[in-house]
Structure 1
Amino acid sequence: MNIKHALFAIPMLAAPALSQAATVDVTITNLTQGIYFTPILVTAHSGDTHLFQVGQAASPELQMMAEGGDISGLVGIADSISAVSAQNPAGGLLAPTEYTMMTDWDTGTNNQLSITTMLLPTNDGFVGLDAWDIPTEAGTYTIYLNGYDAGTEANDEIVNGGGMSGVPGIPANPGMNGGMNATGVINTEVNSMIHIHPGNVGDSDADGGVSDLDSRIHRWLNPVAKVVVTVK
């Protein structure tokens, strides 16, 4: 069991154990009140493989996703290890309180599950599930996911269309419910490793202040996502 994530298992009584978790349903729900998820990458892969690891430096591919929502680099990594991936199951942004579902997903012989998606609007925040062991016993399993900071960009909270790796700023505020002309919350990232995201600071100044984000809308507490996996 991956102890980095809260896991509750409700096995189906009298169900035979499976030799492989071959077919699953996966439902991902956005638990926030004002944060959107960019295109989601759901990957089933073999053991000893990670798309990210807390406490380690972000790869360039992880940075692309966390700063700009671009999952193509991570897809390339997954393809190179013969993983089975579901790209953008929501068909775009996943709005607050909304969910997306994958039904009868064939994971093949892969026995671990990873999920990544950018938190928007943030500078380099993302939702992550790192190499969770897919149960071999049929049943329904619920996992709550944290928001992580990639450690690759200062959380200045300035919405300026940035999004390319190494370019400061937030790509967009999809809810159009923040401010503008912010001076910036911070200009230096003190923790360059992947870590729990400190959360948005925000302010209530629509034309100035330190942040372009609204403190009444864009702040959050973990967990930020709920994942339900049904092993068949």
Structure 2
Amino acid sequence: MKKRLALLALTAALSTASMTAHAASIDVSITNATKGIYFTPLLIVAHSSDIHLFQAGSAASPEIKAMAEGGDISGLSSLAANAGAVVSENPASGILNPGVSATASLDTGAFDRLSLAAMLLPTNDGFVGLDSWKIPSQPGTYTIRINGYDAGTEANDELAASMPNPPFITFGSGGTGVESVISNDKVHIHPGNLGDSDATGGKSDLNSAMHRWLNPVAVVTVTVK
């Protein structure tokens, strides 16, 4: 009986130690690595492995659609918070400009996964995203280069009427549209903007010299303390 009690105590201690091993305080720094693309307010989430903000190859949720088409992270934030995740909203206090970084600090508790999302401007339904990256248990600094994704919810016509029009972006006009139909209705790697050099015509209302981009679009540095 004593041996059994000792074994149970040891098992409980090992279980507690395992959870403690995953507990961490982390700093997450996101750098906009593009030339002329802006990130809307960022959402950063520490969570368990059974939670995903988004998944490539799956249809976008209404919350992902709202974020990718209009920069609204409130729905995603509420879903994550209601699931018990650790949430950091808008560490840049607004738009994250090209070449600029923002940092959030999180106490992850027993959670060992990290996700983030923000709309890419100007795009129809593009977003920068990190899906359920495993947080290392070993203290140190880790660098991740992350891609832009297409939510698959809107055709990439690249027309000003189909995108948010913030005052810090200069759009062209008179474009006929790069695409007229959705070519892939699942979340997928974004092909980047095409743009053109015709400010009053052409296919796109975006300037190819400023708004064209290729992946990756961001550098994320995670410091595990």
Please confirm whether the aligned pair reaches a TM-score higher than 0.5, indicating the same fold.
yes
Secondary structure of the residue aligned to 1:217 is helix
What letter corresponds to residue 204 of structure 1 in structure 2?
S
Per-residue deviation, residues 132-180 of structure 1 (Å, max 9, x unmatched): 11110000000000010000000011112xxxxxxxx111255433312
| Letter aligned with residue 179 of structure 1 | G
C-alpha deviation, 1:20, in angstroms: 2.2
- Distance in 2, matches of 1:102 and 1:22, equals 14
Deviations 1:188-225 (A, max 9, x none): 01100111101101011111221110011111111000
Correspondence for 1:200: 193
SS at match of 2:21: coil
Q: Which residue identity lines up with residue 122 of structure 1 in the other structure? A: T
Identity of aligned residues (%): 60
Task: Identify, as 1 or 2, the structure richer in helix.
Answer: 2
Which residue of structure 2 lines up, in the alignment, with residue 116 of structure 1? 117
Match of 2:171 in 1: 178
1:97-139, CA deviations, whole angstroms, 9 ceiling, x for partnerless residues?
Answer: 0110124x21222111000000000000001100011110000
Q: Per the alignment, in what secondary structure is the counterpart of residue 216 of structure 1? A: helix
- Alignment match, 2:182: 189
Question: Between Structure 1 and Structure 2, whose CA radius of gyration is higher?
Answer: 2
Partner Cα separation in structure 2 for residue 40 and residue 93 of structure 1: 8
Structure 1 distance, partners of 2:215, 2:201, is 28
4+ residue runs over 6 A deviation: none
Aligned to 1:47: 49
- TM-score, length-scaled by structure 2: 0.89
TM-score by length of 1: 0.86
Structure 1 counterpart of 2:22, from 10, 15, 20: 20
Pairing 1:5-84 to 2, within 5 Å after superposition: 19-84=21-86
> What residue ranges of structure 2 are gaps of 5+ in the alignment?
1-19
Given that 1:34 and 1:175 are in contact with CA atoms closer than 8 Å, whether structure 2 keeps it comes out as no
Q: Identify the residue that residue 215 of structure 2 maps to in structure 1.
A: 222
CA contact (8 A) 1:121 1:173 kept: no
Separation of aligned partners in 1, 2:79 and 2:169: 33
Gaps of 5+ in 1: 1-17, 161-168
In 2, the alpha carbon distance for the partners of 1:192 and 1:156 equals: 15
